[in-house]
Structure 1
Amino acid sequence: MGSSVADSFTVATFNVNGIRAARRRGFDRWLRTRSVDVVALQELRCPAADVGTFPGYSAAVDVGSVAGRNGVAVLTRVPAAAVRTWVTHPPRARGLAEFATQGRYIEVDLADRPVTVACLYLPKGGLPAHLQRPGSMREQPDGGAKYERKRRFLAAFAREVHRNRLAALSVGREFVLTGDLNIAHTRHDVTNWRAARTMDGFLPVDREWFSSILGTRRLVDVVRQVHGDRPGPLTWWSWAGQSFAKDVGWRVDHQLATPGLARLASAVVVGKEPSPAERLSDHAPLVVTYSAMPCSPVPIAEHRA
């Protein structure tokens, strides 16, 4: 059967920092007015029964087992052809088992386009033990425990995302990794990048890991490709102080796509609200528009009963 051409489509990634709180602040209005085709959500932070429904969308959800923490979802206009979580499909990379039930990763095969969309909430880390100074940190020193936890995750996830990308390509699907990666990659992704070099999320080891999963034959930072080699766009601002008003923030929310899909990226929009009082979360939604792409019928084998 010959290929058809699908219309352009939009993919959003949004760390809602609690879906119930975000809905009270106006998330449903944003979803209705923005009319995005695919929405990847992180930090649902509630039981499955409290996630609710999203009119006009089918939701694939993994809230995880840690009460009030984590939780990911992907909303699609058309019910997904297949859904995979680390509970239904345990990660194959050694080192991810300790994270498998935490609600950090979900992956869907779109039914109307040959694309697999993955949504990740990467663990927040901390400073290595030798950089921790009591009295100069917001949190109590932990001897580098959170730093080491993040290192374990990163090492294993690099192998896992490589396998998942190849698995998608092997059945004729492009692949895009969306989500809050808790890492800013380049100096353009942080307002005060010099000061950030000793902060979790912009440590040299964080940035080196990020570089390691990118490549012209691997994954492409779609936002940087479209936006260009210049400051921004930012996606996260602290609730504290004047960070939001002064636009002092980070870009830790990303869309990393296989080269075939990345070439179709035509526009990037960060939905930063006009004022602090209108914020839905400490993150803003990051929306990428992808141009029309050839679309082949989805193989029957990829559908789930």
Structure 2
Amino acid sequence: MDDSWLGLQDKVIVVTGAGGGMGTKFCHDLAQQGARLVLIDLSAEQITDLANELTNQYGVQVLPLVVNVTDEQQVDQAVTKTIATFERVDVVVNTAAILHFSPLEDLSLEEWNKELNVNLTGYFLVSQLFGRQMIKQHHGTFVHISTVAAQFPETYSAAYSTTKAGVDMLSKQMAAEWGQFGVRSNCVRPCLVKTPMSAGFYADPKVEQGRSRLVASRRIGNLDDISNTVLFMASDRSDYLNGELINVDGGINVMMQDMIPKPGGRRQYAIDHRYDHKG
């Protein structure tokens, strides 16, 4: 992707969950564009190694910070350190999240609260505290990683779907209240994408084949598909998008009717009966 077209050179970009597979991908692609990065994660070893890797490979300035996004004081300190180092913040990419599988009737309150704290309260704290700085600057952009499961329930992952639905509304709330201050907020919503979190789903080729048939583009997405969208949403090229939910799903959201079987298959049925129903 053309660096000059996106205009991310020297942008100060905060990435939460930077040590995870998806976060690491975003950091590499942003660094390749010349952005200056603040890496936020719980693992000191992971983000220190990543910071060194990004600096050595791309020659960009990187600030690694060990932060629990559910701790208000730690997030506030991260804002202070970011401004002390870079004097501003241009973009925040909210990536940190966890996923737990359980039938709803068996989901413990402890696990519910854990996912709520990380997936929603963490997004709120990071957004609020960095958002205050953006309001002062009169510019800033948020890109939140949500999921199509925020709209269509991911069965047996009730806390995950519910918290991500909250992220969608939080993002819209931010856009509605902070747009007047030059602050944008949008969600990127992947579905059927191979990520470190979902890699196990595709160990069986039949599973991948079956899932691919549900997608209009007839393939499973990859990290590039998500990252390319995140980079666009972080850039000024998307400057008039605010409060949007961008589905990165290969078109699965338009395939509902196609999932309903017809004799011989839907395409063949249409061919065989194309002249049967004239108005």
TM-score (norm 2): 0.47
TM-score (norm 1): 0.44
Which is richer in helix? 2
